[in-house]
Amino acid sequence: MSCRRGALIVLEGVDRAGKTTQCQKLVHALQQSGRAAEIMRFPDRTTKIGQLISSYLEKKSNLEDHTVHLLFSANRWEMVPLMKQKLEQGIDLVVDRYAFSGVAFTSAKPGFSLEWCMNPDIGLPKPDLVMFLQLNPNMAANRGEFGIERYETSAFQRTVHQRFEELMQDSSVNWKVIDAARTIEEVHKDIKRLSEDIISLAQNQPVGEL
Ligand code: DGP
Ligand code: NA
Ligand code: NA
């Protein structure tokens, strides 16, 4: 018996746009409607590479900027066999950040072009849908103090937001912009509807590549 594949659904956005909450709510809603759905998040801090990244983000270690970019990408690549396996088994994957965060965050640093940043992620499984949780940086700042991790400053996040805007010009990626300034339930309703639409389309075509 052939099994219809799962959909690869990604949530992106600047820090504190509500990605993690919305990923959890989406997975729960899909499960409630009888689908096999699982959450994944990048960076996955549990692997050996993920531990290097985590220590860097917590400022317990310093890594050269190109090096850390390649580690983030390697952290995605190491999960690819598992991702493909789950999609083939018909499991929908809801992913909290992906290659787009990789490009947006590193290219927000001086001296990094979008093109250079995109290269290591070329060939990763292509999401069927990427939802960008849009929240202007001032509103994000109103959601409370930033944490103490690397990258968690208003100035850096504003640049990251600009890089995401540039990435969203790429029409080969199925971007949808979600207004994340609304209530959790309003945002969830949009995300759920867009996800259900793409799930029925995705199962008729093979997983693409970035
Ligand atoms: P999170 O665990 O979702 O809070 O993400 C950790 C931080 O790392 C967050 O500030 C975004 C950033 N980040 C996520 N992916 C990448 C990546 O591939 N490259 C870089 N440079 N930063 C990333
Ligand atoms: Na963070
Ligand atoms: Na998050």
Chunked into runs of 10 residues, the chain (210 residues) has average pLDDT values of 84 91 98 97 98 98 98 98 97 98 98 98 98 88 82 92 97 97 97 97 94
Burial of 102 (0-12, 13-18, 19+ CB in 10 A): buried
pLDDT at residue 204 in the model: 87
Compute the distance from residue 97 Cα to the ligand 2 centre, in Å.
11
Could you tell me the strand order of the sheet in which 8-13 lies?
A: 37-41, 92-96, 8-13, 129-134, 175-179
Compute the distance from residue 137 Cα to the ligand 3 centre, in Å.
15
Ligand 1 site-directed mutation target among 94, 101, 153, 158, most atoms within 8 Å of CB: 101
Nearest atom in ligand 1 to the alpha carbon of residue 53 is 8
- CA–CA dist 130, 191 (Å, integer): 10
What Rg do the C-alpha atoms of the chain give, in angstroms?
A: 17
- CA–CA dist 119, 70 (Å, integer): 10
Does the beta carbon of 72 lie inside 6 Å of ligand 1? Answer: yes
Judge if ipTM > 0.95: no
Compute the distance from residue 11 Cα to the ligand 3 centre, in Å.
10
pLDDT at residue 180 in the model: 96
- CA–CA dist 33, 196 (Å, integer): 10
Nearest atom in ligand 1 to the alpha carbon of residue 149 is 10
Instruction: Tell me how crowded residue 6 is: count the other CB atoms within 10 A of its CB.
Output: 26
- CA–CA dist 89, 84 (Å, integer): 9
